[in-house]
Amino acid sequence: MPNYNYTLIILATIVGFFTLAAILLVPVYRFLRKEEKLSAEWTEEKLGE
C-alpha cells in the first residue's frame, strides 16, 4: 500500500517551485520585452542626433 503523504508533498513541492519561478521570472520577461521594443526604435538617425 503506497504512502500518499509523500506523493502529496512531492506534488505540492513541484507546483510551489513552478509558481515561485513564474512569480520571479514574469516581471523580468516583461521588462526585457519592453526594452526590446524600445531598442527597435533606435535608428542611425536618432543615434546621430
Question: What does the pLDDT read at residue 3?
Answer: 76
Q: Which three cell numbers stand for residue 45?
A: 538617425
Q: Tell me the per-residue pLDDT of 10-47, one tens digit each, with 9 for 90 and over.
A: 999 999 999 999 999 999 999 999 999 988 877 766 77
Question: What does the pLDDT read at residue 12?
Answer: 97
Question: What does the pLDDT read at residue 18?
Answer: 98
Give the C-alpha separation, 14 to 5, whole Å: 14
Burial annotation 24-42 (CB, 10 A radius, 16+ → b, else e)? eeeeeeeeeeeeeeeeeee
pTM (2 decimals)? Answer: 0.61
